[in-house]
């Protein structure tokens, strides 16, 4: 067995020239041998810093030990004990700022590839679920009914936890498929949709009833749920409302929000048009405005649709890029160009009302602003025109106000998020909220962590009734 | 799955479907719409709710065969099921006793305006309906609209029934007459809504239009249906679909509605080939 201290095992990936031609997963996953060598590097520390770094407190050394000892069913059981969606987390969690950052090996050289090992175990479990024999419940049935609104990462987690804690759970989803941003937002090449649906099936296997096409705030109000006999509600409708630049020409044809562009591709499979009925514009010269993971996703999708040149336009510098390093690296490798300290001023149209160019200005960084990052300031006289035929705006999102509009007694913050305490308690005594609806755009795992905290408190509340 | 319990062919290529969707029926109100997806490869597309029956648990939609999705829908009949049916979406029509309300409709929207005319009538308004079509053979639900209208004005392009001309003509006559009009509601093709709005604007009569931009999710998530209102961006799916017609950037809307003309042609051709079995298009 390899000794601790060796470099971590690299993640096998599709070759660049091949992967930019398809939507299949870029990272192909550890082989059993990779996983065992990597797992052997774990020091099995007594003080479990990695667990503290995990928002859902997975027993990381324990699952790695089980993996190393070849007891895969046990490794899977340990993961699932605290994390209902390990196949998702192993792929999209920013481990480098969480468990892996806390890993003791990070001080000496490179931390254990915890995320990759999590993914390896989760993928094994999908193929061998019968051998794992997970316990379906942790507590006896309570006879209490809970409603969860929104089937994204927070909603799925809260539903799974509440069901395992013995409650009768119904999960309401507005779209035709459960998964939320995992389905419409994150592309197939980072998170295959059958992985997400595998996790959804697991949540259903716990007894959770999922109602699709159920638009909260329109089909039912919060009060309606209580009238229907639900005794506690967890709101997890996310931050789905796209932000725009509010500049001239933004409504031209060929200017998309990242949400629309990604939804057409990920949820509606527009990259397979006309086999699928939903079309999407394939640009030749594409500009993606923004620097987060969503911007990287959109840029890499545009490339896979056949664009000749895809540029990320970001108003701050490379240091401030909010996207995961790994995603920025992947994007660079694939040939995405980066224009830092640049911001669009207006979009220009051709005779058909379609975008043909974008006026930009250069920026310089001033004093730090409220976010702690240095504020970009326009440079006078720096305007220039960039030829494009497709623009994708990826500036982030705000909570969708539909549910809140139907619940006037629910306290909402000025930025549109629901006011909630540490365990998600809202101003309504039987309503909890978690995920992006509370925090604004944040990670999948922090939404899941919030959902778990709420589920525990909701369990106490429901059992007190 | 949502079962079709009745189908009527109202006109060539215009069909009525009564669909079993009890929850949607219980929550529906005038002016709202649904989003459908016919099958797993299908698009999500909006249709205005033409009627509903909360007791029977049914929702009625009327649609015209235009593109691939509506043609797919037209293949379904009684007993078949639609894969996805989400609603009611959008804000309901603002209904109160305004006084005199003019309900203008054209094309197959002459059906979707019926619930609004009914609600306006029930709220105590005097309802004047103006209905336009190319020719007299293209009217339907005339009896229903008549039932909720104190006055019915019919126009045809060819003069085969009522006034020969466009709906804007009797609308302008009404605006110029002694009758005090408190609100105008227009539903129909965008060009018609645009010109009706332009007609009422000089008279300062509040004019509500029901916009139909391209949509995907219908819940405010994607921003595809955005329209410019007095320079402010609004989402038709959650902020609308009804807006003040005097504030809408009509030319912007008309251009956006044509975003996918080329793709629609490709899809239609493929659909036609599949139907006719040309063998070249999987």
**Residues B212-239: tens digit of each pLDDT:** 999 999 999 999 999 999 989 999 999 9
Say yes or no: B60 and B8 in one domain.
yes
Separation in Å, CA of B158 to nearest CA in chain A = 32
pLDDT cut 70: percent of chain A above it: 99
Say yes or no: B67 and B115 in one domain.
no
Instruction: Please check whether residue B14 lies inside any domain of the structure.
Output: yes
Instruction: Please check whether residue A22 lies inside any domain of the structure.
Output: yes
Inform me whether the pLDDT recorded for B76 exceeds 90. Answer: yes
Say yes or no: B74 and B182 in one domain.
no
CA–CA separation, B68 vs B53, rounded Å?
Answer: 29
Instruction: Please check whether residue A8 lies inside any domain of the structure.
Output: no
Say yes or no: B112 and B244 in one domain.
yes
Question: At which of B60, B89, B118 does a domain end?
Answer: B89
Say yes or no: B155 and B249 in one domain.
yes
Say yes or no: B104 and B186 in one domain.
yes
A414: containing domain: 145-240+399-464
Instruction: Please check whether residue B271 lies inside any domain of the structure.
Output: no
CA–CA separation, B279 vs B224, rounded Å?
Answer: 35
Question: At which of A107, A132, A157 does a domain end?
Answer: A132
Say yes or no: B21 and B161 in one domain.
no
Say yes or no: A210 and A351 in one domain.
no
Instruction: Please check whether residue A223 lies inside any domain of the structure.
Output: yes
Say yes or no: B78 and B110 in one domain.
no
Name every chain B residue with its beta carbon within 8 A of the beta carbon of A246: 233
A322-328 contact pairs (CB < 8 A, 24+): A322/A291, A322/A292, A322/A293, A323/A291, A323/A292, A323/A293, A323/A295, A323/A296, A324/A94, A324/A96, A324/A293, A325/A96, A326/A96, A327/A190, A327/A293, A327/A296, A327/A297, A328/A296
**Residues A84-101: tens digit of each pLDDT:** 999 999 999 999 899 999
Say yes or no: B35 and B167 in one domain.
no
**Residues A323-363: tens digit of each pLDDT:** 998 899 999 999 999 999 999 999 999 998 999 999 999 99
For residue B267, name the pLDDT band (cuts at 50, 70, 90).
confident
Separation in Å, CA of B171 to nearest CA in chain A = 31
Alpha helices in A128-164 (DSSP H): 129-132, 153-164
Q: How far lies A111's CA from each of A12, A82, A108, A137, B275, in Å?
A: 18, 22, 8, 34, 58
Inform me whether the pLDDT recorded for B278 exceeds 70. Answer: no
Say yes or no: A246 and A385 in one domain.
yes
Would the annotation count B273 as a binding residue? no
Instruction: Please check whether residue A9 lies inside any domain of the structure.
Output: no
Instruction: Please check whether residue B270 lies inside any domain of the structure.
Output: no
Give me the pLDDT at residue A5, please: 47
Among B223, B249, B254, B260, the strongest candidate for a mutation testing the A interface, having the largest count of A CBs within 10 A, is: B223
pLDDT cut 70: percent of chain B above it: 97
Name every chain B residue with its beta carbon within 8 A of the beta carbon of A241: 220-221
For residue B277, name the pLDDT band (cuts at 50, 70, 90).
low
Q: What is the mean pLDDT of chain A?
A: 94
Instruction: Please check whether residue B194 lies inside any domain of the structure.
Output: yes
Say yes or no: A236 and A247 in one domain.
no
Give me the pLDDT at residue A2, please: 40
Give me the pLDDT at residue B69, please: 93
Question: At which of A132, A153, A170 does a domain end?
Answer: A132
Instruction: Please check whether residue B12 lies inside any domain of the structure.
Output: yes
Give me the pLDDT at residue A137, please: 80
Q: What is the CATH number of the domain that holds A176?
A: 3.50.50.60
Cβ neighbours around A427 below 10 Å, total:
14
Name every chain B residue with its beta carbon within 8 A of the beta carbon of A401: 220, 238
Instruction: Please check whether residue A289 lies inside any domain of the structure.
Output: yes
Name every chain A residue with its beta carbon within 8 A of the beta carbon of B27: 218-220
Name every chain B residue with its beta carbon within 8 A of the beta carbon of A260: 216, 222-224
Say yes or no: A42 and A162 in one domain.
no
Instruction: Please check whether residue B139 lies inside any domain of the structure.
Output: yes
Instruction: Please check whether residue A306 lies inside any domain of the structure.
Output: yes
Average pLDDT on A19-32 reads 95
Task: Taking the CA atoms of A255, A259, A262 and A263 in sequence, report the sign of the dihedral they define.
Answer: negative
**Residues A119-143: tens digit of each pLDDT:** 999 999 999 988 888 877 888 999 9
Say yes or no: A337 and A433 in one domain.
no
Domain count, chain A: 3
Q: What is the mean pLDDT of chain B?
A: 93
- Strands A342-349 and B226-229 turn out to be unpaired
Question: At which of A101, A132, A163 does a domain end?
Answer: A132
Say yes or no: A71 and A112 in one domain.
yes
Separation in Å, CA of B183 to nearest CA in chain A = 26
Inform me whether the pLDDT recorded for A247 exceeds 60. Answer: yes
Measured CB to CB, residues of chain A less than 8 Å from chain B are: 174-176, 184, 212-215, 218-220, 240-242, 244, 246, 250-253, 256-257, 259-260, 263-264, 268-269, 273-279, 281, 352-353, 400-402
For residue B266, name the pLDDT band (cuts at 50, 70, 90).
confident
Average pLDDT on A166-183 reads 97
Q: How far lies A212's CA from each of A18, A170, A173, B265, in Å?
A: 36, 11, 5, 31
Inform me whether the pLDDT recorded for B273 exceeds 80. Answer: no
Look-up of token digits 């959008």:
B90
Give me the pLDDT at residue B270, please: 80
CA–CA separation, A460 vs A448, rounded Å?
Answer: 19
Look-up of token digits 């009538």:
B121
Give me the pLDDT at residue A202, please: 93
Q: In this structure, are residues A128 and A73 in contact, taking their beta carbons and an 8 Å threshold?
A: yes
Q: What is the CATH number of the domain that holds B158?
A: 3.40.50.80
Alpha helices in B165-217 (DSSP H): 168-176, 190-200
Give me the pLDDT at residue A383, please: 96
Give me the pLDDT at residue A138, please: 81
Say yes or no: B81 and B115 in one domain.
no
Inform me whether the pLDDT recorded for B142 exceeds 90. Answer: no
Say yes or no: A127 and A192 in one domain.
no
**Residues A350-396: tens digit of each pLDDT:** 998 999 999 999 999 999 888 788 899 999 999 999 999 999 999 99
Cβ neighbours around A110 below 10 Å, total:
14
Instruction: Please check whether residue A451 lies inside any domain of the structure.
Output: yes
Pick from A155, A138, A136: nearest CA to A147? A155
- Strands A342-349 and B33-37 turn out to be unpaired
Would the annotation count B222 as a binding residue? yes
For residue B264, name the pLDDT band (cuts at 50, 70, 90).
confident
Say yes or no: B37 and B113 in one domain.
no
Inform me whether the pLDDT recorded for A287 exceeds 90. Answer: yes
For residue A1, name the pLDDT band (cuts at 50, 70, 90).
very low
Instruction: Please check whether residue A1 lies inside any domain of the structure.
Output: no
Among A151, A170, A176, the strongest candidate for a mutation testing the B interface, having the largest count of B CBs within 10 A, is: A176
Name every chain A residue with its beta carbon within 8 A of the beta carbon of B71: none
Say yes or no: A201 and A182 in one domain.
yes
Give me the pLDDT at residue B131, please: 96
Q: What is the CATH number of the domain that holds B27?
A: 2.40.30.10
Average pLDDT on B140-154 reads 93
Say yes or no: A414 and A454 in one domain.
yes
Give me the pLDDT at residue A400, please: 86
B41 → chain A, closest CA residue: A276
Say yes or no: A247 and A370 in one domain.
yes
Cβ neighbours around A223 below 10 Å, total:
13
CA–CA separation, B167 vs B195, rounded Å?
Answer: 9
Asked whether the bond before A30 is cis by omega within 30 degrees of 0, the reply is no
Say yes or no: B158 and B234 in one domain.
yes
Cβ-based burial of A369 (10 A; exposed 0-12, middle 13-18, buried ≥19):
exposed
Q: In this structure, are residues A336 and A311 in contact, taking their beta carbons and an 8 Å threshold?
A: yes
Side by side, the strands of the sheet bearing A232-235 are A209-211, A168-172, A145-149, A232-235, A431-433
Say yes or no: A451 and A316 in one domain.
no
Domain count, chain B: 2
For residue B280, name the pLDDT band (cuts at 50, 70, 90).
low
Name every chain B residue with its beta carbon within 8 A of the beta carbon of A277: 41-43, 68-69, 72, 267
pLDDT cut 90: percent of chain A above it: 88
Question: At which of B69, B89, B109 does a domain end?
Answer: B89
B208: containing domain: 100-257
Question: At which of B89, B113, B134 does a domain end?
Answer: B89
- Answer left, alpha or beta for residue A334, where phi above 0 means left and psi between -120 and 50 means alpha: alpha
Give me the pLDDT at residue A6, please: 57
Closest in B27, B223, B258 to A219, CB measured? B27
Instruction: Please check whether residue B115 lies inside any domain of the structure.
Output: yes
**Maximum distance among all Cα pairs of chain A, rounded to whole angstroms:** 69
Would the annotation count B237 as a binding residue? yes
- Please count the residue pairs, one from chain A and one from chain B, whose beta carbons lie less than 8 angstroms apart: 118
Instruction: Please check whether residue B275 lies inside any domain of the structure.
Output: no
CA–CA separation, B66 vs B49, rounded Å?
Answer: 18
Q: What is the CATH number of the domain that holds A111?
A: 1.10.1060.10
CB contact under 8 A, B68 and A277: yes
Helical (H) or strand (E) element with A49: helix A49-52
Say yes or no: A192 and A89 in one domain.
no
């Amino acid at each position: 067995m390899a000794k601790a201290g060796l470099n971590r095992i690299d993640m096998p990936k599709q070759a660049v020239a091949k992967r930019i031609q398809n939507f299949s997963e870029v990272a192909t996953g550890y082989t059993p041998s990779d996983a065992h060598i990597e797992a052997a590097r774990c020091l099995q520390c007594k003080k479990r810093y990695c667990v503290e770094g995990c928002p859902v407190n997975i027993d990381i050394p324990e699952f790695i030990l089980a993996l190393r000892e070849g007891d895969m069913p046990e490794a899977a059981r340990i993961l699932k004990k605290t994390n209902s969606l390990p196949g998702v987390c192993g792929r999209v969690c920013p481990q480098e700022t969480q468990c892996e950052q806390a890993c003791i090996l990070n001080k000496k050289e490179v931390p254990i590839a915890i995320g990759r090992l999590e993914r390896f175990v989760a993928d094994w479990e999908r193929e061998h679920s019968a051998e794992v024999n997970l316990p379906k419940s942790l507590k006896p049935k309570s006879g209490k009914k809970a409603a969860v609104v929104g089937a994204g990462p927070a909603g799925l987690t809260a539903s799974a936890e509440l069901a395992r804690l013995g409650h009768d759970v119904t999960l309401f989803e507005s779209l035709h498929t459960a998964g939320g941003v995992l389905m419409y937002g994150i592309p197939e090449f980072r998170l295959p949709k059958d992985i997400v649906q595998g996790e959804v099936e697991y949540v259903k296997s716990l007894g959770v009833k999922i109602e699709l096409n159920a638009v909260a705030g329109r089909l039912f109000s919060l009060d309606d749920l209580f009238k229907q006999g639900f005794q506690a509600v967890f709101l997890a409708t996310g931050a789905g409302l796209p932000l725009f630049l509010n500049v001239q020409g933004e409504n031209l044809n060929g200017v998309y929000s990242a949400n629309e562009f990604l939804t057409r591709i990920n949820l509606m499979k527009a990259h397979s048009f006309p086999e699928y009925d939903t079309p999407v514009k394939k640009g030749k010269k594409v500009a993606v405005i923004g620097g987060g993971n969503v911007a990287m996703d959109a840029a890499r999708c545009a490339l896979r649709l056949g664009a000749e040149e895809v540029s990320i336009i970001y108003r701050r510098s490379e240091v401030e890029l909010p996207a995961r390093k790994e995603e920025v690296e992947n994007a660079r490798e694939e040939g995405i160009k980066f224009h830092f300290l640049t911001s669009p001023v207006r979009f220009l149209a051709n005779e058909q009302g379609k975008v043909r160019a974008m006026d930009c200005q250069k920026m310089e960084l001033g004093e730090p602003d409220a976010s702690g990052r240095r504020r970009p300031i326009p440079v006078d006289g720096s305007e220039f025109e960039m030829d494009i035929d497709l623009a994708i705006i990826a500036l982030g999102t705000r909570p969708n106000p539909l549910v809140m509009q139907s619940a006037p007694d629910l306290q909402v913050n000025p930025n549109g998020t629901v006011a909630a305490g540490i365990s998600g308690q809202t101003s309504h005594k039987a309503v909890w909220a978690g995920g992006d609806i509370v925090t604004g755009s944040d990670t999948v795992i922090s939404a899941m962590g919030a959902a778990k905290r709420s589920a525990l408190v909701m369990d106490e509340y429901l059992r007190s009734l | 799955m949502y079962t079709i319990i009745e189908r009527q062919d109202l006109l060539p290529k215009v069909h009525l479907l009564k669909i079993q969707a009890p929850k949607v029926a219980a929550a529906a109100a005038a002016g709202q719409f649904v989003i459908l997806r016919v099958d797993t490869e299908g698009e999500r597309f909006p249709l205005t709710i033409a009627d509903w029956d909360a007791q029977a648990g049914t929702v009625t939609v009327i649609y015209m065969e235009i593109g691939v999705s509506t043609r797919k829908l037209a293949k379904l009949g009684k007993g078949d099921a639609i894969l996805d049916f989400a609603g009611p979406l959008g804000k309901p029509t603002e209904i109160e006793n305004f006084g005199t309300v003019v309900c203008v409709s054209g094309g197959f929207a002459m059906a979707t305006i019926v619930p609004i005319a009914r609600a306006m009538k029930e709220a105590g308004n005097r309802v004047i309906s103006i209905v336009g079509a190319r020719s007299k053979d293209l009217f339907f639900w005339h009896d229903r609209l008549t039932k909720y209208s104190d006055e019915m004005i019919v126009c045809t392009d060819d003069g085969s029934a009522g006034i020969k001309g466009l709906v804007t003509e009797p609308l302008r006559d009404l605006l110029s007459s002694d009758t005090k009009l408190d609100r105008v509601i227009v539903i129909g093709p965008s060009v018609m809504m645009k010109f009706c709005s332009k007609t009422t604007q000089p008279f300062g009569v509040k004019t509500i239009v029901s916009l139909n931009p391209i949509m995907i999710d219908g819940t405010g998530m994607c921003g595809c249906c955005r329209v410019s209102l007095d320079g402010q961006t609004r989402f038709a799916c959650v902020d609308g679909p009804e807006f003040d017609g005097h504030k809408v950037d009509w030319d912007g809307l008309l251009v956006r509605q044509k975003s996918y003309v080329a793709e629609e042609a490709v899809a239609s051709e493929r659909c036609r080939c599949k139907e006719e079995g040309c063998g070249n298009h999987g």
